[in-house]
Structure 1
Amino acid sequence: MSYSSLPLTSKLFQLTFLTCALALAGCGGGDTVDSIAPVPDTGVTQPGTGGGNGGVGNGDIGSVLKISPMSLLDSNGNLTRTISMSGATAKVTVTDASGNGVGGALVTFNGEGVGFGTTNGAVLTNAEGVATTSVVPLSPNDTGSYSLSATAKYEDMTDTTADYNYSLQAVDISLINLKTGETLLESGASTVVTLQTKDISTGQFQNDVTVNFSATCGSFDPASVVSSNQGNVTATYKAIDSNGNLCEDKQIITAVTANNTSSTQSIEVNIKAIKASNIIYTTSESVVLGAKDSGSSSSGQIEFTVYSNGVPAANQEVILDLVKAPIDFNFISQGNRDSKPLKSNSSGKVTVNLYPGNIPGPVEIQATLKSDMTISASAKNIAVATGRPTQKGITLALEKNVLADNAIDTSGVSVYLTDRQGNFVPDGTVVSFIAEGGTITPNCATTQGNCSVTFTSQNPRPANGRVSVIAYVEGDKAYSDLNGDNVYTAGIDSLLDNIGNFFRDDNEDLKYNPGEFVYKRGAFPANAKQASCAVSTLSQPNLFNFPSMDNPTTCDDSLETVIRKQVIMGFANDTPTFYNYTVTPGAISFEMYGNSLRTVSMPSNTSLSLSVQDKTPDNDVSCEAEITDGNLTVPSLVSLKRVDGTTNQNFFESSEDILYTVSTVGCQAGDSIKLSVTTPSPTSKTTTVQLF
């Protein structure tokens, strides 16, 4: 279709467009050339575009696209290789093989440390093939040297300039008009801080300059600001430092450019004195103190916090009073029970030292602001309660006490400790364990007054299947407080069950035999005197005389001792041993043991069951059998009564936990009663015997 055949509207559009294009070309194209207007909806391809990225009216430019060397022009239009914050203009010309300008070519500028006039650095050439763009440093403090290049693209053809080297020039900035919104502030209050950044060399306000703020006391939001809109900088100063502490008196605010500390400005701001408005008890957990002689920490601390308008206030005077406490309790300093002033630290905190005595009881301390005696806070969650383990306050709890002898079996062993007042001993109290056979965890540390270890059946295995296990811990003897001062006084108060060193009573004869484990505390405590010892028992072995030593060991009248508790564990076979089997009219009785020495029961939790068959149907009597006496399941904790290895006295034999009676009502000769005995894991063995 010829141009003359186009509709009138199409011709008018082309004429208008051409006029605009010529006008832009006459102005030098500006910094950039906007994209060409959309093609009219006539469906007709404009001549000269080639259907690609080209401009208007280029015609056929051939197969060669050329781009001129890069030109970098300063604000006066002169060539330069230096770019300051005022910027420069990069310029190239795109031509065809004949040297004619190619309009509408896409030119993309590339360079480091600078920004271009468009977001992607790309512009279109004008009708004369000229492409220009502004070039501005990204940072006013960058003084580096870089390379600039440009790539032209038209239809499928491209060409790139050689690199053009340039340097960036840092701007010399001054800070002016530093002001605060207020010159007198309440402590903790805020005010706005403003200033402007100015280029000294040009006298123009300079944007994109980073300014950092600081103060002798206080904080800023933000602390680093980039100037904009005629070099304006705005930040908020708050009379609270970065640690949350309030500021007062005269303070200096300083502004400095980020990379040129010589460009600085300062201003004074006056802040009113801190005024405490509240005090709060800020120790969140209950404070339970060990008694003075408990062996645990002999002191503690609590904390109050002073506030001014919700912010911790430093250097504020607080009066401390001991409202309620045992008569031997001190606070603030050793020996003090009187009211005393303390000052809050830099975080507004008042720390009060606590010194318990030996008398238990609740403690209450009050803190009052000296500046306003109507404002106070009380600490009530304090008590003197925890003491050393006491002789009568040790308990051993076993998961089970008769284990499989012919397998690896385990049982939990827990120890519970209290002080003389029935309170938990201090957390971390270490309890030790030893065992005659098998193995046991050597120690544990208490939490909430108890801890646990594991006892395991393994070699060595005592021949009689009985293992002495003992737990021991440093503590105090039980005594009668005859003078009521809650403190043991030798010669006045009375020891109830005096114990000294101890041994592990392996053969259960209640006296030491050479070869048994011995624990000695060493020499008597200072000022202690010799005293008589309590009788040794199976659960509390007491070594009152040790003949194999040159110096016999005796008990003393001091309070300190090693508390001990002994238990017997059993190792039993998974095949029962029956003894004293007796048949009487209507019943069968027997004893069932876990070894042939009859010193232990079957393993704990072994179960028993009967299988009955009536094989005499013609006698009109039904054979009905049941276990009427004895444990259908061997108890977890069997009463392992003493077996004296010296005198061979077996107090366990014929004891309650191994006696059984089976009722045989209606059973006649020819009927069948079978007993099945099943041990628990780890052996899980079933043994069946004919009872009748």
Structure 2
Amino acid sequence: MRGLLLLLLFAVLAACGGGASDVSSGAASAVAVASGAAQLSVVLQDSAGQTSATVYANSISALVVTLSDAKGQPLSNRVVKLGVSTSSLSQISPDTVLTDASGRAQSQLISNDNTGADSINASIDVDGKSYSAAFNYSVRSLNFALSTPKLDLSTVSAGGSVGVSVNLSNSDTGLALETPVNVSFSSPCADAGKALMSSPVLSVVSTVNGVKAAVASSTYQDKSCAGSDEITATATLGGVSRSAKATLSVLAALAGNIEFVSAVPELISLPGTGGNTSAVVQFKVKDLQGSPLGGQWVDFALNTTVGGITLVQSAAQSQPGTGLVQVVVNAGAVSTVVRVTATLRGANPAISSQSNALTISTGLPHQNGFSLSADIVNPEFYTLDGNSVVLTARASDRFGNPVPDGSAVSFMTEGGIGTITPRCTMVNGACSVTLVSSGNRQKLVGAGRMTVLAHMVGEESFNDLNGNGVFDTGESWSDQGEAFLNADETAHAAPMTLLAVDGAGYVEPFIDFNGDGVYNGPDGQYNGVLRSASIPSSVAKTIHVSSSRVVIWSASALGSNVLTYPLSAGRLCASGSLISQFALALRDANGNVLPAKTQLDLEITQTVLVDALGNAINNPAQLTGLSSFTVPSTAVVPQFTGTLSAVACPIPADAQLVVKVKFPSGVETSQSVPLN
């Protein structure tokens, strides 16, 4: 007789740290303990680098940890664990950080849309002793203001285009709203199909002359509007909407209209970063009937010259037959957004059009903007060749812009085991490769666990405290050494010699960035392109940014301790007990989680006996509730606790609890325990 699962409680095992001494709060002063003890503090900082106990909903705040000994000397290369008292307000990412040479480490507090108060907790073990610190903070609703839309041209020619932008600010502080917000742009002509507007657009924070601004920019393209058109910008955040309006005058079709055609590329790099530093912007001159008109002089102007942005020429003549006219824009030394205005010479009233926005940025990924993920973390790899998973690398520069298309990412597997696409090139800030199971699994450092390393040329991340867009002496940064493959998944700052599963030696490989044949750790200097003149020119401007991903090579075989019965309550019907419990841990033969998409079914097999009169001689054991489970993509071994019951004792002598397992490959197995 087969029963149903009575109770299935899913619990993921997690290790918890403990044993703290005095805990600080508020401004997160260092923990004071016995003589010779370490001192630990954790604080939140605002965009100006000042300690702040207030953050806003749906925002990201800088979290700074400081660790020193009793004499105030910094303690470097120490792993600090971070957490919050409740996850309903905020999360911390990453939740473990490594202190640098100054005893400092940084993370981020990511707030959701709830408000309230909470505490950040930091803990560390130093010389066998545990220390901790706390910082109390509150999450407030984010009130924001939306400026009147700014029109780069108050009047636009028929068929022309014009830039429209709004500024978003924090109503409480007056500072730029650093939370990205979608802003919608609309107008009566756009609603009627007589004009086009890019909408919605995401606000972007940029820094000009040390001042941050959050701006959402759209482009208005006339089709056949003619007259006044009221443009409305609308933004919604946290359930609150703001709207603002501005009126644009659109000229009726006249001889000598000029239209924006293209800007190639739309993302150009700052000088010295190795990318394309110029863009070609094209316009088209048309006559009254809308046909291309050549031989017309067009004057060009930039809407900003911050950082030294220049035009190669200030005017050009449209080409016969096509009416096309173009100008080259050269990037300056500051990351910003720029547009080109083209004006038909001699027209009265003036006939002008404006290009789409050109973004000027580094074009280089920074360490905090580089990550690696897998579509399946626990594939059925250990016992099968030829299975595959997809690994995806994503990269952005320090302003959050996707790196230029064509930027290359390289990959390396632990011990050269498995087959991986060696490199991919970025499109819209991401690219993917395929990892295929193959090779000698016994050479892995961890049984059935493989580390994959992805790396590309980029720069170190830094905390821009003064908002000038460049690294200055005194600002903190993520000082890092050459990238290496961390095979044993522990926190260590340099490659190590380890033992593989078969006992053979394994030396963690590194990527020799400077080609000197030896591993180089952090150099104590900021390695990046956006830096002040105080940094020696001899210091490298680039490094390898890197990210690792552990792929579990799950086996098509069960571990020996998958099914445990009985638990502490004892066996069913022992001493008359009508309830008992069992545990189910979904481990494979290596102790890792079973492969993703593995199907498990639980049942009871037993023989129920009756006498000649039909009276029960024994009573069936029962379980009710869910009877099956599919293993998800996860690196954690799921555990279940289930309950067994009987109406009366005894239960059948041959009663067994059975777990049947079907792996994605079709391999089937089972494990059982007697209930008596």
TM-score under structure 1 length normalisation: 0.48
The answer to which structure, 1 or 2, has the higher relative contact order (CA under 8 A, 6+ apart) is 2
Name which one, 1 or 2, has greater alpha-carbon Rg.
1
